A = this chain, B = another copy of it.
Amino acid sequence: MSLSCREDPEEPLTHIDEPKSLLVREALNSPAEARALTEIMLTIFRINGRLLEKGDALVRTLGITSAQWQVLGAVSLAAKPLTAPQIAEAMGITRQGVQKQLDRMTKEDLFEKRPNPRHERSSLYWPTPKGQQIYSEAMRRESLWAQELSEGLSGPELQGALDLLRQLHRRLEAPLPKEGE
């Protein structure tokens, strides 16, 4: 949280060669659009980190983590019981990761397993009344927080940013061309 060892930024210590020059040269060669997009990507990383912090803090006193909140949200949004792989697909993470959260939340009486008529081993999961109550309280808090956070932001600008981000997301989802692996 603090750099006690080298506060003053100018004194030249031991340095021999400078990769920075390469970084700068590459950046200047790019068109403005690509540079803006790179900045957007970096900002998304930073915001993502902050959002995870805030999200965890928001639901901590409900006894869940934001990962568990997300699982509750995926099932609630589907409005019907889902299997672990279905939830994983909806959340964009692996089924094993989802399964761990489901196991924990089932043990904590937030989810219940139901027999799946379509599959002998792959149970369906549905929130218990306790799980539903916790989820709705989480959503209430999120809603209040979003209202506070959006205070004074321009509606059209928000919508414009959302449109662009969705476009970006669409461009990112399809191709993963193996990169000469």
Give me the interface of A with B, judged by CB distance under 8 Å: 1-3, 5-6, 12-20, 22-23, 26-27, 29-41, 43-51, 53-54, 57-58, 60-61, 72-73, 76-77, 79-83, 85-86, 89, 92-93, 114, 116-119, 122, 124, 126-127, 129, 132, 135-136, 139-140, 142-143, 146-147, 149-150, 153, 155, 157-169, 171-173, 176, 178-181
Given the known inter-chain contacts A13-B81, A149-B171, A157-B164, please indicate yes or no for A6 contacting B86, CB distance below 8 A.
Answer: yes
A160: contacting residue among B23, B44, B46, B157, CB under 8 A: B157
A169 & B43 in contact (Cβ 8 Å cutoff): yes
B38 & A146 in contact (Cβ 8 Å cutoff): yes
> Within the complex, what minimum Cβ distance (angstroms) separates A91 from chain B?
9
Q: Which residue of B lies closest to A80 (CB)?
A: B15
| Residues of B close to A142: CB separation below 8 A | 38
Complex Cα–Cα for A124 and B51 (A): 31
Complex Cα–Cα for A125 and B135 (A): 45
> Within the complex, what minimum Cβ distance (angstroms) separates A22 from chain B?
4
Q: List, sorted by A's number, 7 A–B pairs whose CB atoms are closer than 8 Å.
A: A6-B86, A14-B81, A26-B136, A33-B155, A34-B146, A44-B47, A160-B160
A76 & B38 in contact (Cβ 8 Å cutoff): no
> Within the complex, what minimum Cβ distance (angstroms) separates A150 from chain B?
4
Complex Cα–Cα for A98 and B81 (A): 41
B77 & A23 in contact (Cβ 8 Å cutoff): yes
Complex Cα–Cα for A136 and B27 (A): 11
